[in-house]
């Protein structure tokens, strides 16, 4: 059984925030992949990536990083049967708007929201550890 954590960020401008997630995964020795794709500008690419990961791996946990209008978490959650953790890169100016955009998803679009990037990484690892004893030992 092969598991994978996939970080999808909405744009390159999210890379500094994503590094905090990566650092936590690296500190636990957990493999992951990182991609850039915008749900608003390149939705076909997002859908293609989800399909490829869902076919290739037994279990995938997606961590989506998108600010402003968070369409990324919704499009991923609506098109996979795997867990999606939204971790919006928050700033003081748009904090409430970004959180609201992440929390208000339509029915049958289950995206979890974890605001702290290190906790988002840990949550993803714990989800995969439910079926992976080696991963559970790293927690």
CA–CA separation, 53 and 103 (whole Å) = 24
113 backbone dihedrals φ, ψ, rounded to 5°? -115, 125
Q: Name residue, tokens 């990182």.
A: 34
pLDDT at residue 113 in the model = 94
pLDDT at residue 106 in the model = 87
CA–CA separation, 56 and 14 (whole Å) = 26
**What would the pLDDT profile of 13-45 be if each residue is shown by its tens digit?**
999 999 999 999 999 999 999 999 999 999 999
Q: Report whether CATH 3.40.50.1970 matches the domain 3-134.
A: yes
Q: What's the whole-number average pLDDT of the chain?
A: 93
Do you know the residue count of the chain?
139
Instruction: Kindly list the domain boundaries of the chain, sorted by start residue.
Output: 3-134
What letter would DSSP give residue 12? G
pLDDT at residue 92 in the model = 63
Tokens for 93? 């100016």
pLDDT at residue 67 in the model = 81
């Amino acid at each position: 059984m092969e598991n994978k954590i996939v970080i999808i960020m909405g744009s390159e401008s999210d890379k500094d925030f994503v590094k905090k997630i990566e650092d936590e995964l690296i500190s636990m020795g957990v493999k992951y992949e990182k991609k850039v794709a915008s749900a608003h500008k390149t939705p076909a690419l997002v859908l293609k990536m989800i399909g490829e990961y869902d076919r290739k791996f037994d279990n995938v946990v997606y961590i989506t990083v998108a600010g402003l209008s968070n369409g990324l978490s919704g499009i991923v959650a609506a098109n996979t049967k795997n867990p999606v953790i939204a971790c919006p890169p928050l700033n003081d100016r748009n904090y409430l708007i970004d959180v609201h955009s992440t929390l208000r998803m339509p029915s049958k679009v289950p995206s979890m929201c974890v605001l702290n990037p290190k906790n988002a990484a840990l949550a993803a690892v714990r989800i995969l550890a439910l079926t992976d004893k080696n991963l559970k030992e790293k927690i």
